[in-house]
Chains A and B, each alone.
Chain A
Amino acid sequence: MSGRVITITSGKGGVGKTTATANIGAALADMGYKVVCIDADIGLRNLDVVMGLENRIVYDLVDVVEGRCKLRQALIRDKRMGELYLIPAAQTRDKNAISPKDMQRVCDELRPEFDFILIDSPAGIERGFKNAIAPADDVIIVTNPEVSAVRDADRIIGLVEADQKGPAKLIINRINQELIERGDMLAVADVLELLAVDLIGMVPDDQAVLVSTNRGAPISLEQKSRTGQAFRDVAKRLSGQEVAYTEENGSGGLFGRLSKLIRTGGG
């Protein structure tokens, strides 16, 4: 097995990186893949909370890097699932506790054991972001349909390109159909036109996300949820399946004239 390292990042904070990481991770594990999620947000860890694994933390990523434990010991298994693991961030340290090389080393050790290694990146363009993308084979950018988030996403896409990580893929999170129709929110078309990258997911704005986050139970496992479906579709696309954006999976109508643009994928 040689696992793919996928980093989930954004530029702007609070757009849904951690939510996306937890949900895509759970969906991939549910599909039968062996998955590990790494919280690279040292000092502001919360992937453990969102995944509902907070109370099981003994060792963290910094312990691994500084040799206080074996990598294996820092892996927390989600017992509710097939093969889903978490490597938590340290809460009491900062980003400088880890270097890009450390991240590469950790991921190289994980690759033979896992199908997918998902890294939850901190916001920003500083050290923490650099750590998170250093080992990446693929980069997913999360943005909201909002001017400032899109501007930051653009900046990040430029930096990812400069790092020769190949074309980044985009998740537009928190899409609110009503606001778009009223003209108060950027449409998916506007976002894609500016960023010109491939879309890999469109996720509705949904209060149920907050509820599932508080319970530490990913919404992507709720079969009836449209939002859950949107995250499951991202997982399928990552695994190589083609999933159309349709009315049934919650993304119909968001496109209008743009469906053509999406299929061709942009530059």
Chain B
Amino acid sequence: MTDKVQIKGIREGLLVSVVEDEGDWNLAEKELLSELDRQKSFLQGAKLILDVNEYGINAAAMGRLRDQISDHGLSLWGVLSRSPLTERSAQAMGLATRIHQTERQAEPADGHGFDPNSDAVLVRRTLRSGASITHTGHVTLIGDLNPGAEIIAGGDVIVWGRLRGLVHAGAEGNQDAVVCALDLAPTQLRIAGHIAIPPQERGQTSPEVAFVRDGQVIAEPWEPGKAIK
């Protein structure tokens, strides 16, 4: 992953920020497109809001950019910039140039387990074989994780669906990470440095929570009212 391009989920779609440096737009654009390429399976079909900071992009270049983004199977929804030139070209193409930024700071850090520094992505589709999501924060998937697909998260992983692929929670070493799924039947489950290969036969399909206890990955049925971990 390059650190010149950052991707995070926001209410309107995915916010892709191109981090400022002295280079010209052409270089930054290359960087951006190759990052989109790398993250292809994760981004597919998403609505993009591009934050290009100070970069000035004229109308012709903006048109090219939009075409290239749609070649990647994405749609460009908005462009944010501090450059008036960029704003004008974006507006001329009917792209949004403002988004509501209120939501991200809305929640107070009042000690109820809310961590203002962590971020989470929400993915709402089936992750099929070959798909891979890597994220430094938490990942929530609404949909199935099929065999051959994987989620690698720095934090927790929640699958509102059938978890049958590979999940690595706490991938950067967080022993407290948990994995929750409506049907927890992974090909392999990892939490921090621990690896679990679940038994083949499993009678139940009730919601379960997996976590590390005494150096082992354990899965327990979810019970209403019971604290997780």
Interface residues of A (CB under 8 A from B): 151-152, 154-155, 157-159, 161-164, 194, 196, 267
B58 CB to closest chain A CB (Å) equals 28
**Is B188 an interface position by the 8 A CB rule?**
no
Among the listed B73, B127, B149, B164, which residue makes an inter-chain contact with A164, where contact means beta carbons less than 8 Å apart? B73
CA distance A162 to B130 in the complex (A): 12
A-B contact pairs, 24 of them (CB 8 A): A151-B129, A151-B148, A154-B128, A154-B129, A154-B147, A155-B130, A155-B148, A157-B128, A158-B126, A158-B129, A158-B149, A159-B130, A161-B44, A161-B128, A162-B40, A162-B41, A162-B44, A162-B45, A162-B73, A163-B73, A164-B45, A164-B73, A194-B146, A196-B144
Which 8 A/B pairs are nearest by Cβ-Cβ distance?
A158-B128, A155-B129, A154-B129, A162-B44, A155-B130, A154-B128, A151-B129, A154-B146
**Is B131 an interface position by the 8 A CB rule?**
yes
Chain B residues with Cβ under 8 A from A164's Cβ?
45, 73
B163 CB to closest chain A CB (Å) equals 13
CA distance A154 to B131 in the complex (A): 10
Among the listed A151, A158, A194, A267, which residue makes an inter-chain contact with B131, where contact means beta carbons less than 8 Å apart? A158
Chain B residues with Cβ under 8 A from A158's Cβ?
41, 126-131, 149
A196 CB to closest chain B CB (Å) equals 6
Chain B residues with Cβ under 8 A from A162's Cβ?
40-41, 44-45, 73
CA distance A157 to B40 in the complex (A): 15
- Asked, given contacts A162-B41, A162-B44, whether A154 binds B148 with beta carbons under 8 Å apart, the answer is yes
Chain B residues with Cβ under 8 A from A152's Cβ?
129
Contact with A along B100-135 (1 / 0, CB 8 A): 000000000000000000000000011111110000
CA distance A267 to B146 in the complex (A): 14
Give the residue name and chain of the B residue nearest to A125 (CB).
B130
Chain A residues with Cβ under 8 A from B148's Cβ?
151, 154-155
Known contacts A162-B41, A162-B44, A267-B126, then 7 further A-B pairs from the complex at CB < 8 Å, ordered by chain A residue: A154-B147, A157-B128, A158-B41, A158-B127, A158-B128, A194-B164, A196-B144
Chain A residues with Cβ under 8 A from B129's Cβ?
151-152, 154-155, 158
B148 CB to closest chain A CB (Å) equals 5
- Asked, given contacts A162-B40, A164-B45, whether A155 binds B126 with beta carbons under 8 Å apart, the answer is no
Chain A residues with Cβ under 8 A from B146's Cβ?
154, 194
Give the residue name and chain of the B residue nearest to A194 (CB).
B146
B197 CB to closest chain A CB (Å) equals 17
A162 CB to closest chain B CB (Å) equals 4
B122 CB to closest chain A CB (Å) equals 18
A28 CB to closest chain B CB (Å) equals 29
- Contacting pair A151 B147 (CB below 8 A): yes
Chain A residues with Cβ under 8 A from B44's Cβ?
161-162
Chain B residues with Cβ under 8 A from A163's Cβ?
73
Give the residue name and chain of the B residue nearest to A196 (CB).
B126
CA distance A154 to B73 in the complex (A): 19
Which residues in chain B, 146-183, are within 8 Å of chain A measured between CB atoms?
146-149, 164
CA distance A260 to B126 in the complex (A): 21
A22 CB to closest chain B CB (Å) equals 28
B50 CB to closest chain A CB (Å) equals 20
A77 CB to closest chain B CB (Å) equals 37
CA distance A162 to B127 in the complex (A): 11
Contact with A along B37-75 (1 / 0, CB 8 A): 000110011000000000000000000000000000100
Chain B residues with Cβ under 8 A from A161's Cβ?
44-45, 125, 128
Interface centre among B40, B127, B128, B131 (most CB of A within 10 A): B128
Give the residue name and chain of the A residue nearest to B127 (CB).
A158
Chain B residues with Cβ under 8 A from A267's Cβ?
126
CA distance A34 to B127 in the complex (A): 38
CA distance A158 to B130 in the complex (A): 8
A126 CB to closest chain B CB (Å) equals 13
CA distance A162 to B149 in the complex (A): 15
